[in-house]
Structure 1
């Protein structure tokens, strides 16, 4: 029961990031917050929340000098790439949601992540069966069908930004793969984004366009749906295999799409239904078929 509740909370939190960001940036520039401020408040709130969680759950405490020595020593090493990928994801995510609907943004994000992870696997020598290739082709065609109307119109930039956000999240995930202490590594990465947040705030103007509602939405996105959401998800991963985790994440764009209808007054058309079915169905075929083949080989 605890595992089910943890998984449900984490998946709702992931979808909640899209909803909160879209609500905060809706009808920009008259929105309650600008995209740059949403980004740095979200990352800073998540960093603070994760530091508190680490303080009460980990042996190495943030109040010790050694902890901060580890944080700063890894910033300019290969381990610091995780923070760069995380910041790239968060910034592009926010700026994309100025114009994208909640469901389309989440679908672009998560499909980019899954397709990128599969592609990296192929580059590293993975072999796909005929069924898996069909699934990947179905997902790729659905992905192109989803973005093509925007890429052929003046509104192409938000879609490209969300695709870049997906690439950032995919490489962030790959950089942290196999971490012995995911919560600690996640906290390090969020803390290491703070200097980049300062640069972002200075470039776009500190507290440029922030109302109290905007600040609250960004802080909730950081503290609850990012900080707590990621912490609970990584804890749940201990009891989930890779296939279960990947398939469960495919529900996030669906949750986000319907939340966008309920909370942001958006609408879903036939184009979204068809392309989302192609993308999520194709990725699910690759994941599930691959898991069955590995099980038989074992």
Structure 2
């Protein structure tokens, strides 16, 4: 009798499928989009610090690599712990049901230890840059994990403001690697990131209103309705208007483009008072906010190079 060997094609196919599934699980676990969005401001803060201290990137590229790797580990650790803690509400919300903590493809114990390990490794590595950078990173990690994830997210609408602090420290990390953050530029970057996150998060909360409501997450539109959410969105966008003028040292081109971006966003925000389809308006706010941040941060870097 001839023994039938499994075909190599079949084995390769299974191997590729397993690798693809693992990659997808890790991408969901790390919240890849959120992770990238948090690393970009670190890069911007690093580059601006070099510019304002009259130093060259070529002399600090190794430090930049260490900063990027370590800060990415810290942020990934916080996001993983968030997934571990939020597994019960992630099971309810459609947007999070593919996470390995929900599907069971990764045990909760494994996920927790991954989050702790990533966090510790990242903080230790970042300590090899400057202590101030490590402190800012820890503040961001702690704020996201404890006051946001474990305390306010399910209880209070101010969870958005608390969560925004963790994202706002990211450019401070990049700057602190090069110089002290006792400087107007990193302070304005902090304010920019903090304010930007609020309308961005409100837009997500409106778009996913039913999911947040079912999961019992205390987002502003769920607790207080659309009208107050639209009003607060416009107020926070308006708060961005003076910030470019406080970064006048970046040049007239930057101030002009940044101001134009702010005005356009404010106009879109005001449209929320008259648009009948609030979810469509929220989608506009969400998409614009993503493009706004990427354009603005890259613009800051570009004007320091040109």
Asked if TM exceeds 0.5, the reply is no
- What TM-score comes out, normalization by structure 1 length? 0.33
Higher relative contact order (CA closer than 8 Å, sequence separation 6+): 1
